[in-house]
Amino acid sequence: MPPQRLNIKPATPAAVAEAAKLIAEGGLVAFPTETVYGLGANALDGAAVARIFAAKARPGFNPLIVHLAGPGEARDLARFNGAANCLADRFWPGPLTLVLARLPGCPVSKLASAGLATVALRVPAHGIAKALLEQAGVPVVAPSANPSGAISPTRAGHVAKQLGAKVDMILDGGPTALGLESTVVGFETQGAAVLLRPGGLPAEEIEAALGSRLSVAREGPRPSAPGQLQSHYAPVAPVRLAATTVRPGEALLAFGPTPPAGGLARRNLSPSGDLAEAAANFFAMLHELDACGPDSIAAMAIPDRGLGRALNDRLRRAAAPRS
């Protein structure tokens, strides 16, 4: 039975223990990670995984990321090639997801993999997420805790507003530090690493660790990482990119020291032009501007390097034509 009322609790040790029990028993729990809030369920329980797809109205062809308490647990589920070992050793726990071949007998629900022969794995670097995963004692699928295609949540309140009573419990651990989803990396059959989704770990750092360039996945209607679906991260208001001016009914999403004057409402991602600050503010400011009901959101240009690459990816998809 789906829950009837909003159940949001500060992430005290008692609440984390209760959340872990809920997950182990097939419930849905929203919890903080260093990137965004995730909507967690037992990855071994097909019915629980199906509830995630229903709560988010997520297309069944879009697979989920499996979250583990540590790298050892991840190695039990998938085949790690040399490059994957290198990246896991260097960046886990952290905002990196690796898409790898499922090991024979991998117990993760096939639905979580959307029928693919691969599984996406991540070890988050967040105290509450780690405690929850350890106590649940099972791998946990966790997409971002928003309706499919909508703005991602970086605060417990964003989850409450967007998913509310569709989840059994929301653990409130405050704002997330990084503010952008994990970077998703897959591998070609020859073992070469492919950037499937830019994210909170800059591609430049991954390339430095590997000593080689990442290739970038091509996009299509059923992309290899459907975070690459064209319209995604979308506010209610349309988004206008590379804005240098603001119209009267518009809201401004500014970046840097000299935003244009005017508009209905405004937020500055980082007055000093700092990309980490901009990433941490990004989704919360989009939520705030959208709540003002503007004709459109005018987004200023952001440098296309480091975290800026992931920010621009989110902005392009927020501005893409909606189906």
Closer to Mg ion by CB, 81 or 148: give it: 148
Choose the stretch contacting Mg ion; rule: CB under 5 A; options: 141-149, 163-171, 289-297, 300-308.
141-149
Closer to ligand TXA by CB, 186 or 294: give it: 186
Closer to Mg ion by CB, 226 or 259: give it: 226
Q: How far is CA 130 from CA 40, 124, 126, 133, 284, in A?
A: 13, 7, 6, 5, 24
Q: How far is CA 310 from CA 30, 184, 218, in A?
A: 23, 11, 16
* Region 229-258 residues binding Mg ion, contact defined as CB under 5 A: none
Choose the stretch contacting Mg ion; rule: CB under 5 A; options: 81-89, 98-106, 144-152, 204-212.
144-152
Residue closest to ligand TXA (Cβ) = 227
The interface partner of residue 268, options being ligand TXA, Mg ion, none and the CB cut-off 5 to 8 Å by kind, is none
* Region 264-293 residues binding Mg ion, contact defined as CB under 5 A: none
Which pair of tokens denotes residue 36? 């965004």
Q: Nearest Cα to 17, choosing from 3, 5, 31?
A: 31
Residue ranges that bind ligand TXA, judged by CB under 6 A: 33, 35-36, 38, 62-65, 97, 99, 113, 116, 118-120, 122, 124, 142-144, 181-182, 184, 186, 196-197, 224-227
Closer to Mg ion by CB, 42 or 144: give it: 144
Can you say whether the dihedral through the CA atoms of 102, 104, 110, 115 is positive or negative? positive
> Whole-number minimum distance, CB 263 to Mg ion, in Å?
28
Question: What phi and psi, each to the nearest 5 degrees, are found at residue 162?
Answer: -90, -35
The interface partner of residue 109, options being ligand TXA, Mg ion, none and the CB cut-off 5 to 8 Å by kind, is none
- Per DSSP, the residues of 41-109 read EETT-HHHHHHHHHHHT--TTS--EEE-SSHHHHHTTEE--HHHHHHHHHH-SSSEEEEEEEPTT--S-
Q: What is the C-alpha end-to-end distance of the chain, expressed in Å?
A: 31
Q: Is 144 in the site for Mg ion (CB under 5 A)?
A: yes
The interface partner of residue 197, options being Mg ion, ligand TXA, none and the CB cut-off 5 to 8 Å by kind, is ligand TXA
Environment class of residue 257 by beta-carbon count within 10 Å: exposed (0-12), middle (13-18) or buried (19+)? exposed
Q: Is 162 in the site for Mg ion (CB under 5 A)?
A: no
Choose the stretch contacting Mg ion; rule: CB under 5 A; options: 142-150, 207-215, 295-303, 306-314.
142-150
> Whole-number minimum distance, CB 228 to ligand TXA, in Å?
6
Evaluate whether 171 touches 29 at the Cβ level (below 8 Å): yes
The interface partner of residue 155, options being ligand TXA, Mg ion, none and the CB cut-off 5 to 8 Å by kind, is none
CA 93, chain centre distance (Å): 15
Based on its alpha-carbon atoms, the radius of gyration of the chain, rounded to whole angstroms, reads: 19
> Whole-number minimum distance, CB 221 to Mg ion, in Å?
18
Closer to ligand TXA by CB, 115 or 293: give it: 115
> Whole-number minimum distance, CB 60 to ligand TXA, in Å?
12
> Whole-number minimum distance, CB 192 to Mg ion, in Å?
26
> Whole-number minimum distance, CB 121 to ligand TXA, in Å?
9
Site residues (CB under 5 A) for Mg ion?
Answer: 144
